[in-house]
Amino acid sequence: MINAIPPHRVSRKLIRLAATSIAAGVSLFAASSAFAEDDTPLSAVGVERGLELYDYDAADRCILGYHQVRLTVNNVYREGILKLELFGENDFMKSSGKLRRIRVPADDGPMKVCIHVPGPGEYAVVGYHDIDGDRRLDKKWNFKPKEPFGLSNNPVIESLRLPRWEETRFTVPHDGVEIEINLVDPD
């Protein structure tokens, strides 16, 4: 019985083991994110890449099982800024209805971005690739977007109109949800 471990040591060892496994599981999703696991302040990344970025616009850490939207953004590449906004039904697409705003350096897609939501419920995400990094969605002469944009549920918007809540909303359960947004090049 030389190798016997006292009961209290066993339980501590098990707790440590469990903690390590949980941490490994969490980082499994986050590891594929270009920046979610990177603790470098967003403002410092901005300086490095010549982009105007602020720490308060950072994305959230990806945590499986947490009430958050775990986004995969497609058709994006390493230039400029990726901007995403989270809305609820109230004042959808209006600045007063904006629940969160994320501005992160754009990277070669698919990009993983996580956004915490206030609680389980219905939400919508709208976003665009601010290629020139001027923090605005560039528009054409006819007010159509000039930079790639995307919406949750990826509805096709052919005419010149704002997206509707009904076509972009999705449900976030208590343990979060994975969604994909395909940025589309404007015609």
Closest to Ca ion by CB, 16 or 136: 136
Residues 120-159 that bind Ca ion (CB under 5 A): 130, 132, 134, 136, 138
Q: How many CB atoms lie within 10 A of CB 100?
A: 18
| DSSP state, residue 184 | B
Sketch the per residue contact string, 85 through 124, with Ca ion: x for CB under 5 A, - otherwise: ----------------------------------------
Structure tokens at 44: 């410092």
Closest to Ca ion by CB, 172 or 183: 183
CB of 130 to Ca ion, least distance (A): 4
Contact 36, 114 (CB under 8 A): yes
Closest to Ca ion by CB, 55 or 132: 132
CB of 154 to Ca ion, least distance (A): 21
Q: Which residue do the tokens 């754009």 mark?
A: 106
Closest to Ca ion by CB, 106 or 117: 106
Q: How far apart are CA 170 and CA 45, in angstroms?
A: 31
Q: Does 185 bind Ca ion (CB under 5 A)?
A: no
Closest to Ca ion by CB, 16 or 139: 139
Size of the site for Ca ion (CB under 5 A): 5
Backbone angles phi, psi at 95, to 5 degrees: -65, -30
Residue 84's H or E segment, with its range, is: strand 81-87
Q: How far apart are CA 86 and CA 123, in angstroms?
A: 7
Contact set with Ca ion (CB under 5 A): 130, 132, 134, 136, 138
